[in-house]
Structure 1
Amino acid sequence: MATYEEVKDIPNQPHKYLFDVRNKSELEETGVLPASINIPLPELEKAFNLPDEEFKKCYGREKPPIDAEMIFSCKAGGRAARAAILVKTLGFANAKAYPGSWTEWEQKQSK
């Protein structure tokens, strides 16, 4: 499981990936996590099966290598956990969920 501190440090860790699996409408309502890549959960498997060039064109960043460290976030942790499990089934062993997700992020940022 990923921690708030780990997620907060993502902008300083260019080799790590932070994926937000919320829908675009949710991001518009709440905001985004710094340095996160938005891929809604229903699109995740398709996105991770894209050729490298297509992934970069769609999401603005290189497709993660199979051994990349990846953190998944959503609103409260449930979809993030499902996303981490899904990409592990695709062979990405270093995927983990941020259980606090946006809810914890927003609470800690407002202090």
Structure 2
Amino acid sequence: MATTGTKEIYYDELKALVGKSQNLLVVDVRSPEEVAGGHIPGSVHIPVDTVEAEFSLSPEEFKAKYGVTKPPLDAPELVFHCMMGRRGGIATNKAHELGYVNARNFVGGYKTWAEKEGK
């Protein structure tokens, strides 16, 4: 499980959470074109340049727009990712600035996920 202060998550840990954790929210911050090429199961698409605004929505607005519950500020399993890691890191930093103390960036991003999953 995530420890406070950890800002990164790796494939093996994320893979163990996907499909098993009720609290996991994986946020895909890539472009719509990139997402169309494949995504991590259960991930929610919120482009990196909109993360700050979207995570500032009320819980009701967030749920209506994305179909998932807006995570609380102390959510233990909030993970951002992009294709390789840079934009995911930017999004993770924005989330931290908004008070999401346990937000983490998936190191290697979708590129690593796709390689490990054989896609």
Q: TM-score range by the shorter chain?
A: over 0.9
Q: Aligned residue for 1:25?
A: 33
Question: For this pair of structures, how many residues does the alignment match?
Answer: 110
The amino acid across from 1:62 in the alignment is T
Residues 46-97 of structure 1: per-residue CA shift (max 9 Å, x gap): 1001011100011110100110021111001000011111100000000010
**Structure 2 gaps, min length 5:** 1-7
The CA deviation at 1:17 is 1.2
Q: Aligned residue for 2:3?
A: none
TM-score scaled to structure 1, two decimals? 0.94
Is residue 72 from structure 1 mapped to residue 80 from structure 2 by the alignment?
A: yes
* Aligned equivalents of 1:93, 1:3: Cα separation in 2: 18
Q: Aligned residue for 2:116?
A: 108
1:28-67 equivalences in 2 (<5 Å): 28=36, 30-67=37-74
Contact (CA 8 Å) 1:7, 1:18: kept in 2 or not?
no
The CA deviation at 1:103 is 0.7
The CA deviation at 1:35 is 1.2
The amino acid across from 1:66 in the alignment is L
The amino acid across from 2:104 in the alignment is K
**Structure 1 gaps, min length 5:** none
Same amino acid, percent of matched pairs: 36
TM-score scaled to structure 2, two decimals? 0.88
Supply the RMSD in Å over aligned alpha carbons. Answer: 1.2
